[in-house]
Amino acid sequence: MTQDVEMKDHPTPSHSISSAVPSTLQHLKEIASLIETGSYSKEVRRIARAVRLTIALRRKLTASVLASFLDYVLTPGSEAHARLSVFLPKEDDHEMEVDTATSAIQTPAKHLLPELEIYCYLLILLFLIDQKRYNEAKACSSASIVRLKNLNRRTLDVIASRLYFYYSYSYELTGDLAEIRSNLLALHRTATLRHDELGQETLLNLLLRNYLHYNLYDQAEKLRSKAPRFEAHSNQQFCRYLFYLGKIRTIQLEYTDAKESLLQAARKAPVAARGFRIQCNKWAIIVRLLLGEIPERTIFMQRGMEKALRPYFELTNAVRIGDLELFRNVAEKFATTFNTDRTHNLIVRLRHNVIRTGLRNISISYSRISLADVAQKLRLNSANPVADAESIVAKAIRDGAIDATLDHANGWMVSKETGDIYSTNEPQLAFNSRIAFCLNMHNEAVRALRFPPNTHKEKESAEKRRERQQQEQELAKHIAEEDDDDF
């Protein structure tokens, strides 16, 4: 009995140790074979699938698994193996013994494909970033970029685009993003010359992020306007581009274009990218407030975003009411959040919108009110509030925000009576614009239903073409003979 118990107890821990490592290692080997197949057959979609499968295994990567995978893919002692092994931390002797045992069981197949070497760089870089070894990640990413510059293969484009992203991300985590700007520009130029469109998309977004990180909006716009544009290959990169474009347009006071770009980025973003969608919604809310619009309440109640958008909900409420004091309190209360989101400068612009909204409410409520009372209701805290109120009212009247007149002699604001709007041409103009919109939409739908000419006809084969040409020649000869007979 004791022997049976010992026989049952001994193999169990060894089996549990050995089965934990090969599971992830076996997946990586399958991914390596997928990359190898895609490289030989020039099928980029297989390599893209391999990268997607790698992201699912990201949390399971360990130093021992990566060391075993390097021994499987690359020849131990080779130059590539030595370059990559430097970035892996040393593990305990016990774990290394397990890895050597498992690697000795399976016969390793050695590959010399550049795709697999660059893929190993990507794996090690992901592992170092997840382990918060940012300095080592910087060194690894820099080495991978140096290696990539010497390779020009279209099957590398998908893996290279990921490496570009993590190259910039590792430097951003250490606060050294400005150091790689010249390298990113050189890489973008190289990708353009090699017609690597996915690399151009990724590097353009990284350069825009680099410029916006240091508030270099003019340089970012110059680069964006001069960079070649083409049909988007990656939805994620296109969403990032729309977000950066919206930020640039917001700073340039082009709020209508900024609103369209930000809302489109939020709609196109994947549901799993919650942080990105929150950032898009934050900027879109500010832009809509600057346009004089009040965002719907449902925007702030989206699932998983209520807490993050709470400061912007209170800000929207203050703008909607037109209470300058409440707006000031909200701005001070959430100043840290607004500074982190880099929207504080935009919120300063909103002060004028709050004053205008409050003034519009006052003009609707009072037919005549003194400028001192206007300053008191707007809560203008200045040395001469009456003079400030007078200038604010005069500017609002000039811009058409309110329908009133100023009585300078008595210091009053006299609001004009609101007439019946249906006695004017405004309802007709609004109705006409809606009808025109519907008609244009109908015409575009009908136009989209039309087929290009002759698409219903089958493509003419060479034999049919010869027959048709022969018939045409015979017909022409017959007509010529008839003409001769007539003469």
From 30-44, 255-269, 300-314, 361-375, the region with the lowest mean pLDDT? 361-375
Model-wide pTM > 0.75: no
**Mean pLDDT of the 250-262 span:** 89
Mean pLDDT confidence for 80-90? 79
Could you tell me the pLDDT band of residue 18, with boundaries at 50, 70 and 90? very low
Residue 93 is predicted with a pLDDT of 41
**What is the C-alpha separation between 160 and 202, in angstroms, rounded?**
10
- Structural contact between residues 209 and 244, judged by C-beta atoms closer than 8 angstroms: yes
Q: pLDDT class for 452, splitting at 50, 70, 90?
A: low
Q: What percent of the chain has a predicted confidence (pLDDT) above 90?
A: 8
The whole-number pLDDT of residue 13 equals 43
| Rounded distance between C-alpha atoms, residue 163 and residue 145, angstroms | 8
Per mean pLDDT, which range of 75-84, 343-352, 443-452, 466-475 is the poorest? 443-452
Please state the rounded mean pLDDT for residues 97-125: 62
Residue range 124-136: average pLDDT? 86
pLDDT at residue 289 tops 80: yes
Residue 9 has pLDDT above 60, yes or no: no
- How does residue 401 score in pLDDT terms, banded at 50, 70 and 90? low
Q: In angstroms, how far is CA 438 from the centroid of its own chain?
A: 32
Q: What is the pLDDT of residue 81?
A: 82
Of residues 280 and 18, the one with the higher pLDDT is: 280
Rounded to whole angstroms, the Cα distance separating 32 from 40 reads: 12
Q: For residue 161, what are the CA distances in angstroms to 35, 145, 164, 200, 286? A: 15, 11, 5, 9, 32
Q: Tell me, what's the pLDDT at 454?
A: 54
132: pLDDT strictly greater than 80: yes
What pLDDT, on a 0 to 100 scale, did the predictor assign at position 95? Answer: 43
**pLDDT value of residue 435:** 94
Measured between alpha carbons, how far is 377 from 229 in angstroms, rounded to an integer? 51
**Is residue 118 a contact partner of residue 156, using CB atoms and an 8 Å limit?**
yes
